[in-house]
Amino acid sequence: MSDGLHKPGRRLIGIDDGPFDRKRGANVLVVGVVCRGDRLDGVLTTHVRKDGWNATDRLIAMIRDSKFSAQLHGILLDGITLGGLNIVDLPKLARDTGLPAIAVIRRKPDRQGMEDACGRLPNQGRRVAMLRRVGEVHEAEHVFFQVQGLSPDEARRVVDSTAIFGYIPEPIRMAHLIGGGVITGQSGHRA
């Protein structure tokens, strides 16, 4: 399924959340950046609840309802949670959009630490089950990832080939800069 996703010309959406208030239930901006190679084609946005349960449904609606829905080839996420511990059900996201979905993680995830964090919120069992459903953690050149709907080898090629500036796939990097700039007034590094 979707071999060749790493090739130029494939249109990918990279997703990240913006900075948010610490209080549970806060409204969190989520930015989706549609790119073909290094060209920005469009920007999608939605909102999720901090530590809530609606991340998966909001992402599915954002992608399905967009003008790009028929032309996307894959989804790249900055990690498996949005807005704190609002967990993305990666298998459901891939199934309901019909697209391979890759969650990119900078550091090898501390699964036990995440499961403990879930214990400070209601419904720990349901959150832990979702985290476990996401599947194995794989290693790319500079980052780690989890994937649904695509072979780990092909996902690794996508992650490595889209990291143009630095280690993070370009659509995720751009979504991160946009979310920060919109919420706080400025984002980025001078380096």
Question: Which residues contribute to the site for a copy of itself (CB under 8 A)?
Answer: 29, 31-32, 34, 38-46, 62, 66-68, 70-71, 165, 173-174, 177-178, 180-182, 185-190
The secondary structure of residue 141, as a DSSP letter, is S
Residues 6+ apart with CB under 8 A from 184: 19
Query: Quick one: 45 or 161, whose CB is closer to a copy of itself?
Result: 45
Query: Quick one: 45 or 124, whose CB is closer to a copy of itself?
Result: 45
In contact, 143 and 104? CB cutoff 8 Å? yes
Closest CB 68 distance from a copy of itself, rounded Å:
6
Query: Quick one: 113 or 185, whose CB is closer to a copy of itself?
Result: 185
Q: What's the Cα-to-Cα distance from 147 to each of 42, 48, 76, rounded to whole Å?
A: 24, 22, 9
The secondary structure of residue 169, as a DSSP letter, is -
Nearest CA to 9 among 36, 34, 33, 35? 36
Query: Quick one: 64 or 133, whose CB is closer to a copy of itself?
Result: 64
Closest CB 133 distance from a copy of itself, rounded Å:
29
Closest CB 70 distance from a copy of itself, rounded Å:
8
